[in-house]
Chains A and B, each alone.
Chain A
Amino acid sequence: TMCAELLPEELATYYKRLYPTHLMVQWLSYRSPAYFANREFSMTLHDDIYLRFLSYNYESEFRGALLDRRPEKIDIGAVYSCRPRDRATVSGGAFQAKEKELVIDIDLTDYDGVRLCCSDARVCSKCWLFMRIAVQVLDRALRCDFGFRHLLWVYSGRRGIHCWICDRTARQLSANARTAVIEYLSLVRRPGDKQPQQGQQQPPKCHPSVAAAADAIRRQFDDLVRQQDLFGTEDRTRALLAQLPEDLRSVADTAVASWLADPTPIRP
């Protein structure tokens, strides 16, 4: 099931012929060689040797290191105030992380509660629909709400997707701002979460971002329901609706009751 351990020789070939070194360097330089030189890389080698604070001044050095070390995993770290490999030569406070892309990580195992075809590391074209929808929702929000333009969406290799937000504004975001972005994008309320303050509004308001997300989901929801057979059994239906928050409990109960009384197939 899982891929076999990669032999160093195969990795050597990979780095020699397939790994897009030039593109990676071009990307991570953002048109500034000094910026690239201050970037931290870490590598996991064969036998779990983990090396941090690696940095390279030129593409040729980076390529040389890849061929030489043949890492099984490469992590891209932050851009520091000086070259990470020279950090010992500066006084304590002078070595600090300055910029880093904002990376959002979507893992299909987060959907294990609702995807019925697979679980854990298994992924199929049916549950990948969850991912498609997630990407559409996020992509719109990141571009339209936050104005981010340079998004790199990559498959993480197993069961997820990473979105690298590379705009300069994003790279320079403070810690506080990063969590604010994520919280803005967080919607799922679980049982027990407090109701967000709505004040005494009638009718209750739906934030434009949430409405846009709902639109994107609605366009694919029929397919999702059908493929996952989400409401195919009573148990499953009840289990799904049990995940809604307290204040929607009575609405959920009514919906379940009428559904079970007459489960009509969705009209195409």
Chain B
Amino acid sequence: GSSAEPQVRLQFYRDPPSGSEQLDTVQNLCLARLRLLKAVEEVGQDMIKGSKEYMERLKMKLGKLDLGASLLTTSGVHVDGLRFREEIRRDVLSHFLLRLAMCRTEDQRRWFITQETDLFRLRFQLEQNADRSRSSRFSAVAAFLSANGIHFDSLSDAERSDLAPELLAATPGIGSDAELATVAFYRAHFTEALDLVRSRRVYLRDGFAYVPETGVVSMATTRFRAHLSHQLAVACRALPYLGEDARLVPLLGAIAKNLSGDEWTAKSGGPAGVVLSGQVDQLAKTSFPPCMQHLHSSLRRDHHLRHFGRLQYGLFLKGIGMPLEEALKFWRGAFAGKVDGDKFAKEYAYGIRYNYGKEGKRADFSPYSCVRIITTNQPGQGDSHGCPFRHCGADLLAQRLQAAGISQDQAQGILTRAKDSQYQLACRDYFRAVHKLSSDHEVSINHPNQYYEESRALLLGNGQQQQSARAPVRVTKVKAAPAATAAGSQAAESDWLDETIDQEMSQVDLSAYEA
């Protein structure tokens, strides 16, 4: 149109694109966005999210990438109509295509949601900054929110002064009553401001959060994440019906595999041979990652582990090749002295069989990845699970490093990494230190079982390199598959979670697509 107002670039991705595209355009777009999201992930690992350095680094990295530059352009910057429409289309199309590629498994969905949400947050903040420094009264943020039906209730001056003492006490970044009067506040149901509620950075009363204007980005991001999560679940359920297009499905599968090369799965590079319960003590010393070493030594010391410790460690042991019978033997032996045979059979054996898919839903649970261990199930008093680089204090960590025979210098480096929240990099440095490798030995730690396998490969003098985590994309041919039957695909997705039901709900069996 001929309106003088700039067009809004920021997307909520509510409506799927239409029209048709060449297959190789589709492929290029998908890969371009995937590269973008990987860059988002990497910067997020190296820096504190939301910090100034993080934003600068992200802008720089994304700006260099195909698709990245156009996504970072804010709404006020004028480009001609044709180019504008083209850039919007690439944004929207690549997003929706990746939704299809990344909706299959829970890990992929979680990864996709995290990176897309971080990307959205960056773009929203850039738009906010641009709005502030714009001379005209146009607000891209307001236009975006209104175009997507998102409305936040603002507080009147009277309401704000009534609540002034509480708002002041609860809201970080505001130092005085005078300052408070200059800040706009919004009142939203607490479910709209989860990130702020979670970290107790807003005043909560009667189920409503009182959010300062700096919190609008958090609320918008919360909605974005919730919406995307829901849409991915919908996409996942719709996947079987895509079977008709025999070109699209393998492409999407290959794209997902490109990413999941970083993920450890039981099928790829599984250990040779079976691990017996009697071998664990020795293996723990030489090849277990520190998280599992700690669980193992706590188990030996206390003859017990609490629920999440048993879960994290038990699944890990399954992943290294311990079969069910050995696992039962191992745990029974480990608990001996504290728990007698009957009590063990009654209270613990079921859980172990459950993890091996022999009870209940009979799903095959995967051992937890590093990201999962770091971000979920925070350990409390008396727990031994979690990631030591994240969950241990610096003193205790230093002690453990020393006990592992790591030199002062190397330990210092590891501790710094941990302090800077670079937990997986700390673990990588730990791996290098205990295996006496040089600091440029290529390895990246994403999964405890991967740590174990890399360690075994090294110690067994396995000449050939472990298959690189970044294997080239292989496009596999898939025969047109029938729609999954009720027996094949179980309960898939729901935003909703009960810790005991989570694992049930997270498995989507689409083995028809495993080539």
Point out residues on A near B: beta carbons under 8 Å.
Answer: 48, 50, 52, 77-78, 88, 90-93, 95-100, 110, 112-113, 144-148, 169, 173-181, 183-184, 188, 190-193, 196-199, 201-202, 205-211, 246
B204 touches A146 (CB 8 A): yes
A209 touches B204 (CB 8 A): yes
Question: A219 to B156, alpha carbons, bound, how many Å?
Answer: 36
Could you list 22 A-B pairs, sorted by A, with CB under 8 Å?
A: A93-B492, A96-B492, A96-B496, A97-B498, A97-B501, A97-B505, A98-B494, A145-B204, A146-B204, A174-B496, A175-B495, A175-B502, A176-B226, A177-B191, A184-B197, A188-B381, A196-B199, A205-B168, A205-B169, A205-B172, A207-B169, A208-B166
Residue ID in chain B nearest A93 by CB atoms: B237
A98 touches B496 (CB 8 A): yes
Question: A198 to B489, alpha carbons, bound, how many Å?
Answer: 48
Q: Residues of B contacting A209 with CB < 8 Å?
A: 170, 200, 204
B197 touches A180 (CB 8 A): yes
A207-B170, A208-B169, A209-B204 given; A190·B381 CB < 8 A:
yes
B77 touches A (CB below 8 Å) = no
Residue ID in chain A nearest B354 by CB atoms: A50
Contact with A along B470-488 (1 / 0, CB 8 A): 0000000000000011101
Shortest CB–CB separation between residue B159 and chain A, in angstroms?
A: 16
B190 touches A (CB below 8 Å) = yes
B469 touches A (CB below 8 Å) = no
A175 touches B166 (CB 8 A): no
Q: Residues of A contacting B356 with CB < 8 Å?
A: none
Which residues from 187 to 244 on chain B have a C-beta closer than 8 Å to any C-beta of chain A? 190-191, 194-195, 197-200, 203-208, 225-226, 236-237
Residue ID in chain A nearest B392 by CB atoms: A192
- Residue from B207, B350, B498 in contact with A48 in the complex, judged by beta carbons closer than 8 Å: B350
B497 touches A (CB below 8 Å) = yes
A177 touches B194 (CB 8 A): yes
Question: A196 to B490, alpha carbons, bound, how many Å?
Answer: 41
Shortest CB–CB separation between residue A101 and chain B, in angstroms?
A: 10
The count of A-to-B residue pairs whose CB atoms sit within 8 angstroms is 144
- Residue from B168, B170, B393, B492 in contact with A192 in the complex, judged by beta carbons closer than 8 Å: B393
A92 touches B490 (CB 8 A): yes
Q: Residues of A contacting B1 with CB < 8 Å?
A: none
B341 touches A (CB below 8 Å) = no
A199 touches B198 (CB 8 A): no
Q: Residues of B contacting A144 with CB < 8 Å?
A: 205-206
A183 touches B198 (CB 8 A): yes
A97-B498, A178-B497 given; A211·B169 CB < 8 A:
yes
Q: Residues of A contacting B172 with CB < 8 Å?
A: 197-199, 201, 205
Point out residues on B near A: beta carbons under 8 Å.
Answer: 166, 168-170, 172-173, 175, 190-191, 194-195, 197-200, 203-208, 225-226, 236-237, 345-346, 350, 359-360, 380-382, 391-396, 484-486, 488-498, 501-502, 505
Q: Residues of B contacting A98 with CB < 8 Å?
A: 494, 496
A175 touches B497 (CB 8 A): yes
A192 touches B204 (CB 8 A): no
- Residue from A176, A191, A208 in contact with B170 in the complex, judged by beta carbons closer than 8 Å: A208
B491 touches A179 (CB 8 A): no
Q: Residues of B contacting A48 with CB < 8 Å?
A: 345-346, 350
A88-B486, A96-B491, A180-B197 given; A147·B206 CB < 8 A:
yes
Q: Residues of A contacting B498 with CB < 8 Å?
A: 77-78, 97, 100
Shortest CB–CB separation between residue A67 and chain B, in angstroms?
A: 24
Q: Residues of B contacting A93 with CB < 8 Å?
A: 236-237, 489, 491-493
Question: A231 to B155, alpha carbons, bound, how many Å?
Answer: 48
Q: Residues of A contacting B236 with CB < 8 Å?
A: 93
Q: Residues of A contacting B346 with CB < 8 Å?
A: 48
Instruction: Determine which residue in B345, B501, B505 has the highest number of CB atoms from chain A within 10 A of its CB, and name it.
Output: B501
**Known contacts A78-B498, A88-B486, A209-B170; 17 further A-B pairs (Cβ under 8 A):** A48-B345, A48-B350, A92-B489, A92-B491, A96-B494, A97-B498, A98-B494, A146-B207, A169-B191, A174-B191, A176-B225, A180-B195, A180-B198, A190-B393, A192-B395, A199-B173, A210-B200
Q: Residues of B contacting A197 with CB < 8 Å?
A: 172
Question: A233 to B508, alpha carbons, bound, how many Å?
Answer: 57
Residue ID in chain A nearest B191 by CB atoms: A177
A174 touches B495 (CB 8 A): yes
B505 touches A173 (CB 8 A): no
Shortest CB–CB separation between residue B419 and chain A, in angstroms?
A: 9
A175-B497, A192-B391, A199-B173 given; A110·B492 CB < 8 A:
no
Residue ID in chain A nearest B163 by CB atoms: A208
Shortest CB–CB separation between residue A250 and chain B, in angstroms?
A: 15
Q: Residues of B contacting A78 with CB < 8 Å?
A: 496, 498, 501
Shortest CB–CB separation between residue A119 and chain B, in angstroms?
A: 12
Question: A176 to B223, alpha carbons, bound, how many Å?
Answer: 12
B208 touches A147 (CB 8 A): yes
Q: Residues of A contacting B486 with CB < 8 Å?
A: 88, 90-92
Shortest CB–CB separation between residue B275 and chain A, in angstroms?
A: 28
Question: A95 to B345, alpha carbons, bound, how many Å?
Answer: 31
- Residue from A95, A110, A145, A210 in contact with B380 in the complex, judged by beta carbons closer than 8 Å: A110
Shortest CB–CB separation between residue B237 and chain A, in angstroms?
A: 4
Q: Residues of A contacting B380 with CB < 8 Å?
A: 110
B394 touches A192 (CB 8 A): yes
Question: A145 to B346, alpha carbons, bound, how many Å?
Answer: 41
Shortest CB–CB separation between residue B14 and chain A, in angstroms?
A: 19
- Residue from A90, A91, A147, A180 in contact with B194 in the complex, judged by beta carbons closer than 8 Å: A180
B488 touches A92 (CB 8 A): yes
